[in-house]
């Protein structure tokens, strides 16, 4: 099944920029991040596993046992998966359960697949440290595809949106300052927050990555995001706390990209 086009369904949000934020909206949404779900069917392979003993992978969590991304510069193929309920994360196919993931983060959880092995998929996770991954059973997932890719070039200070391998647009953006750099590697669009009360950007697209230098920001977990900015003079500069600030026309397109869409951040 393929996820609907960004232009035809704005309710499948996108993001590709990185920002560290802690706002009341973030906290409120996170309270829905894994919560009450349907019980495991008796036939489920994880039905006998005690999930209560496992930490929940979310943007507020740090899970040191998570396997590290083995190929952080490789572009994912666009396959994304959605947990049907709270399910365990494993360190390898048929391996040890080290955490769990729920069907909600900022709305529905969609995670990019980076490796497939028989009836298992390896996905990128929203929890710290950056580059965390885990293995999930395919039978416990819904699967879709995103035709989009977001690429942030830190050296050029540009953000590029690609659809079906073809560039949709490229924009000059603001990136993290030297003391609070935008983290490199592959991540993904974790969700979308719409808050008209925010003075700098009414739309924030949190990513599955976090600041490498700030444990928290403004009371939040230091989540990196894509968002707009009120002063266009910042574009082309390294001035943020790790976020990627984008022009309004870029944000309008990015917010229509499916959740789970891969985001590549490089030094070029």
Catalytic residues: 227, 243
Q: Is 220 helix (H, G, I), strand (E, B) or coil?
A: strand
Q: How many angstroms from the chain centroid is the CA of residue 108?
A: 12
Q: How many angstroms separate the CA atoms of 136 and 262, rounded?
A: 18
**19 is written with which tokens?**
């920002």
Q: Is 26 exposed, middle or buried (0-12, 13-18, 19+ CB in 10 A)?
A: buried
Q: Is 154 exposed, middle or buried (0-12, 13-18, 19+ CB in 10 A)?
A: buried
Q: Which residues contact 117 (CB under 8 A, 6 or more apart)?
A: 93, 135
Q: Which residues contact 138 (CB under 8 A, 6 or more apart)?
A: 81, 119, 120, 121
DSSP state, 177? -
Task: Please name the residue ranges forming H helices in the chain.
Answer: 24-30, 248-254
Q: How many angstroms separate the CA atoms of 45 and 84, rounded?
A: 14
Q: How many angstroms separate the CA atoms of 210 and 216, rounded?
A: 9
């Amino acid at each position: 099944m393929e996820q609907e086009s960004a232009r035809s369904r704005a309710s499948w949000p996108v993001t590709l920029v990185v920002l560290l934020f802690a706002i009341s909206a973030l906290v409120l949404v996170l309270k829905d991040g894994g919560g009450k779900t349907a019980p495991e069917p008796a036939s489920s392979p994880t039905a006998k596993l005690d999930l209560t003993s496992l930490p929940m992978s979310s943007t507020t969590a740090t899970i040191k046992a998570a396997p590290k991304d083995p190929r952080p510069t490789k572009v994912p193929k666009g396959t994304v998966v959605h947990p049907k309920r709270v399910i365990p994360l494993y360190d390898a196919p048929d391996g040890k359960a080290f955490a769990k993931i729920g069907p909600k983060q900022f709305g529905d959880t969609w995670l990019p697949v980076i490796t497939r092995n028989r009836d298992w998929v390896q996905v990128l996770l929203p929890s710290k440290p950056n580059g965390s991954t885990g293995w999930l059973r395919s039978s416990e997932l819904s699967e879709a595809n995103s035709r989009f890719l977001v690429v942030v070039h830190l050296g050029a200070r540009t953000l590029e949106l690609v659809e079906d391998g073809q560039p949709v647009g490229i924009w000059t953006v603001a990136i993290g300052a030297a003391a609070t750099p935008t983290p490199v590697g592959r991540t993904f669009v974790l969700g979308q927050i719409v808050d008209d009360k925010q003075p700098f950007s009414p739309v924030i697209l949190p990513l599955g990555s976090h600041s490498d230098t700030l444990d928290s920001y403004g009371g939040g977990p230091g989540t990196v995001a894509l968002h707009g900015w009120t002063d266009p003079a910042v574009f082309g500069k390294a001035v943020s706390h790790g976020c990627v600030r984008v022009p309004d026309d870029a944000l309008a397109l990015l917010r229509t990209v499916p959740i789970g869409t891969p985001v590549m951040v490089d030094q070029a």
